[in-house]
Structure 1
């Protein structure tokens, strides 16, 4: 049980670490265009993302998939760019097609999971309890993502419902800001 709590803590700390802000940016871009009333849809999206990165994380840990780190590090900001572009061009953000968003989150999760794999491999070493540690780490990641999601939802609620910022303006602001940051990241990481 001690290993579970250790890897759970490592998971949520890793996701909330500002030095690895690309993951925070992606989760923010993924859920930043929704309102608090859409929390169930957002949790489905974030869970789809978690399933994707859990799958590639597991495959990578067991050496079933090996992709050069430089490509993974480049593709991560590309996924953020695509997400923000879709947010900006989508004129009806409230009525997003959850099915296509779900599949995109799952596919992008596959890419992001590869970004975690080297970090987790270095932590695990030659552990005999890989499955339990991987599970605990992924549960910790999901917990950290939920913290990000609810933080963004609270911020969106305050801006849209209290300060009365137009929802479309908030969507354009958050998506454009993340687009700019991720564009710079992608350019810096071109293989």
Structure 2
């Protein structure tokens, strides 16, 4: 167990925690390695995928029985497996920043739902079916994973490509199991606190805030970067981009 923990700790502090793309080193590792490389990268991508983890944390936050946890996680797994495998194999893709922006919205949705937002703000008797919403968001999360997987050298369509995709998905599931084990441990400890019910609203407000910040980050990435491994806040071209826009506006104004 200690070896397993030591093996996963570096992943939690890897660059992928802040850049949700796939590095050139990882791409080269895929070329040099076999299917196990894809399994490892899938696990790494899930464990360092802060948006996926936040959504999962929100889903299981109020689930008390093992049966319910298995039911909801299974439907989420089914959803993201469908789009991960089929979208990748069929070459269906979309702008990664916009897909991740929708994933960020799913995080906001779950925190809002956990805090009974539909009842308090919309006067609804109950929230939309959680099982269906988890499945739908699972499809979206899987599409997000697919956009990353399609950056890798998967080869020509055929059994080899399919096995690489399946290997990546197996890694995602293994990473999800590890992440869920940690989350359940945290939530179990929180439930033992006498102020859990009172603090649960604060925790879910935090989930919504985190989702909102992720949404802003993804939209910023869509507007100011050209690749999933870039992020414009720390780049000089961020300021240059705005200066260029201002200069163009001044030029147009002077020529009116």
The TM-score range, normalised by the shorter chain, is 0.7 to 0.9
Is residue 2:94 matched to residue 1:67? yes
CA positional deviation for 1:50 = 1.7
1:145 maps to what in 2? 176
Deviations 1:24-77 (A, max 9, x none): 111111112223xx2231122122112111111223212353333332121010
Question: Structure 2: how far apart are the matches of 1:13 and 1:138?
Answer: 11
Question: Structure 1: how far apart are the matches of 2:148 and 2:99?
Answer: 13
- Rate the CA distance shift 1:90–1:43 in 2: closer, same or farther, 3 A: farther
Instruction: Give the gaps of 5 or more residues in structure 2.
Output: 1-32, 119-125, 223-256
Q: What TM-score do the two structures reach when normalised by structure 2? A: 0.62
Q: Name segments (4+ residues, structure 1) moved above 6 Å.
A: none
2:194 maps to what in 1? 164
Is residue 2:78 matched to residue 1:51? yes
Task: Point out the structure with the larger helix share.
Answer: 1
Question: Structure 2: how far apart are the matches of 1:142 and 1:40?
Answer: 18
Q: CA RMSD in A?
A: 2.5
Q: Secondary structure at the match of 1:189?
A: helix
Instruction: Give the gaps of 5 or more residues in structure 1.
Output: 92-96
Question: Structure 2: how far apart are the matches of 1:90 and 1:189?
Answer: 24
- Rate the CA distance shift 1:12–1:123 in 2: closer, same or farther, 3 A: same
1:81-160 equivalence runs, <5 A: 81-89=108-116, 100-126=129-155, 128=158, 129-160=160-191
Q: Secondary structure at the match of 1:125?
A: coil
Question: Structure 2: how far apart are the matches of 1:170 and 1:135?
Answer: 40
Q: What TM-score do the two structures reach when normalised by structure 1? A: 0.80
Is the Cα contact below 8 Å between 1:13 and 1:144 reproduced in 2?
yes
Question: Structure 1: how far apart are the matches of 2:40 and 2:67?
Answer: 25
- Rate the CA distance shift 1:169–1:137 in 2: closer, same or farther, 3 A: farther
2:50 to 4, 7, 21: 21
Based on CA coordinates, which of the two structures has the bigger radius of gyration? 2
Task: Identify which range, 124-133 or 109-118, moves more after superposition.
Answer: 124-133
| Greater relative contact order (Cα < 8 A, sep 6+) | 1
Is the Cα contact below 8 Å between 2:93 and 2:147 reproduced in 1?
no
Is the Cα contact below 8 Å between 2:87 and 2:143 reproduced in 1?
yes
Question: Structure 1: how far apart are the matches of 2:218 and 2:114?
Answer: 23
- Rate the CA distance shift 1:121–1:33 in 2: closer, same or farther, 3 A: same
